[in-house]
Amino acid sequence: MTIAPDSNRDAPIGILGGTFDPIHFGHLRLAEESCETLGLARVLLIPSGQPPHRAAPATPAKERLAMARLAAEDNAAMEVDAIEVNAATPSYTVHTLERLRERYGAARPLVLLLGADAFAGLTTWHRWQNLFDLAHLAIANRPGHPSHARHLPELLSDALAAHCNGRFADRPEALCAAPSGLVLPFEMTPLAISASLIRSRLSAGRTVRYLIPDSVLDYIHSHHLYT
């Protein structure tokens, strides 16, 4: 694939994965605010191909990829990457990060963007300890979760808390000092939007305007999705 040029070739690259079924303003706002708050060169939006931790999405990967591309097409700070959709294996995050490391090299800082709920369950992920060798982890505040670094360890299991000892960073600039290994909580504008809410409203014939981009909504209607 063609990689978009960076405005700053040394700035970290953010990575935001998900089923994006469908992509919505909560996803896009997280990508936008992480770029601004963390000083990222851009964020890679990576729709999952075969999610290993949940049932396969009813919407085919090619449709979810197309919607993500429509949502991000006017934002130079976002790049949709088909690395998981094109893979023939389940979409384990550690495998994706390993492939991205091969692409960007050992020195470029990579930042995996997670919600606090996902971070709290990190020990259930495949080879979760290796994630810290491949990327920094930036933990976004979500509605109902504490936002400050001093509270975040309360969400962690003992195993994850022990593994994160000494890894917490207080400022975004620290992400540039190493290619991986740090945990940085940051605050974002809380938007209580979920893909399941959108699917539910669409299946009931209710409006989802202002929850997703108009281009994505047009695609959903033209392809008769979520009905």
State residue 158's pLDDT score. Answer: 84
Q: What is the pLDDT of residues 124-171, one digit of tens each?
A: 999 999 999 999 999 997 655 555 455 566 667 888 888 888 899 989
Share of the chain above pLDDT 70, in %: 89
Q: What is the DSSP letter of 212?
A: B
Q: What pLDDT is recorded for position 89?
A: 84
Domain assignment present for 6: no
How confident is the model over 67-89, as pLDDT tens digits?
Answer: 999 999 999 999 999 999 999 78
pLDDT tens digits for range 184-210:
999 888 888 999 999 999 999 999 999
Considering the domain boundaries, does residue 92 fall inside one? yes
Query: Residue 215 domain-assigned?
Result: no
Query: What are the residue ranges of helices labelled H in 87-225?
Result: 93-104, 116-120, 131-134, 158-163, 195-203, 214-222
Contacts of 116-123 with CB under 8 Å at 24 or more apart are: 116/140, 116/141, 116/142, 116/145, 116/146, 116/152, 116/155, 116/185, 117/142, 117/145, 119/152, 119/155, 119/156, 120/155, 120/156, 120/157, 120/160, 122/160, 123/157, 123/159, 123/160
Classify residue 204: in a domain, yes or no: no
3-class secondary structure, 138: strand
Q: Which pLDDT does position 3 carry in this prediction?
A: 41
* 91: confidence class by pLDDT, cuts 50, 70, 90: confident
Task: Evaluate whether residue 80 is within a structural domain.
Answer: yes
Q: Which residue has the higher pLDDT, 79 or 116?
A: 79
In the structure, what pLDDT confidence band is assigned to residue 2 with cuts at 50, 70 and 90? very low
Rounded to an integer, the average pLDDT of 24-31 is 96
The answer to whether residue 56 is domain-embedded is yes
In a domain, 3, yes or no: no
Who has greater pLDDT, 49 or 199?
Answer: 199
Domain count of the fold of the chain: 1
Average pLDDT, stretch 103-109? 97
Element counts in the chain: helices (H) and strands (E): 8, 6
Instruction: Take residue 69 and report the two structure tokens written for it.
Output: 């591309």
- What pLDDT does 161 receive? 84
64/219 Cα distance (integer angstroms)? 10
| 207/204 Cα distance (integer angstroms) | 9
Mean pLDDT for all residues in the chain: 89
Residue 152: give the domain boundaries: 13-191
Assign residue 20 the CATH number of its domain. Answer: 3.40.50.620
Residues of the chain with pLDDT > 90, as a percent, come to 70
Q: Give the pLDDT band of residue 1 (cuts 50, 70, 90).
A: very low
40 belongs to a structural domain = yes
